Structure 1
């Protein structure tokens, strides 16, 4: 097992302006120093305000995955324009020149992951979460998920990126993923997990890390839906072509 599971609220994390960003700030909720593993270079919440941008950069050794929570914008990736809005996910493979701009006056707020670069280069894409066929994750009850980025649908072996909902009374039974770390970000609702016997509670704005090999379960404790980003780094072997 790598490091110990934890829950962090976004506003309990120090924020900083990311390199090569203007009028922007980010809260890092997961990195190798926090997690004790290098499956994620970063798992962060980022905001780019009106008039700001992320100027052209290239993370040669990291694949990117973004989930747009607020606002609309566009990116130029290897010379091609990609537009996105709230509810979209953008995939950028490693060694891609990319930049990012809000549209309108609202600004952008998004989850962003950086994971290791896969040896198989893939093409960037933007897709709406709701455009992906839904699935019921294994060992989940009263739940639904959208597997937005996986090795089988255009991503790479470095990460899986899902949006998952547990409805009132729903739960995920105890499970173990020996070959992948977990990072979650909770968008709405309340709940808790039992990870190796420890109870971890969470709500909107919280992130949770679960290391590979840890026994874990999940429960919705609220009257509404528990909605979250659920990611695996790297992708589980069972999800690879």
Structure 2
């Protein structure tokens, strides 16, 4: 890990080598000048996909943190600073690294950045993560095809692994699951761990799953995705099957 400060900016990187331009890695115009922008995706803001395989070992996704809801109309991207580890980008970087080291299919965190305001009360944040190649948002995929029972079970197993680590994905929905097509099979990934973290006990786990189920039902109406209650049964089978198998030799 490489951590450093430059004036009112703080950086952390998941590599050991030093780049002359590393303080510019969170500026889309830098990557544009380098002709390394592969594409982009619109959400709350714009996520840029970057050709960085030769530098970092993987291509990357660059995301700026934006506020949502009514508050976001008045304050689009500033957050109150308390400690560096609790800032949005540094906290998500740390959690992703923990999950990545535990073997969960999450994007590898590459870097995080915050820029404090002149007074130091507020900050803006960015994060660089691995770009998952040959992958589609689950909802986009389900608009055109159905998934096999095995893939639904795989999704359930992934959520169980997360829950067994006592990690609550506070925005667990169908858009935060990616399906990657490999030569062998479909591989599922979990995304967007902003504001997520560890929770004790088990009381929250059923509601976390219910949130995901509501998301599927909503997108069945809104996006006409191919989703049935049998699909959910298979997902839950994978969730409980992972629990039954984890202690087997």
> TM-score if structure 2 supplies the norm length?
0.23
Structure having the higher helix fraction is 2
Structure having the higher strand fraction is 1
Larger radius of gyration: 2
> TM-score if structure 1 supplies the norm length?
0.24
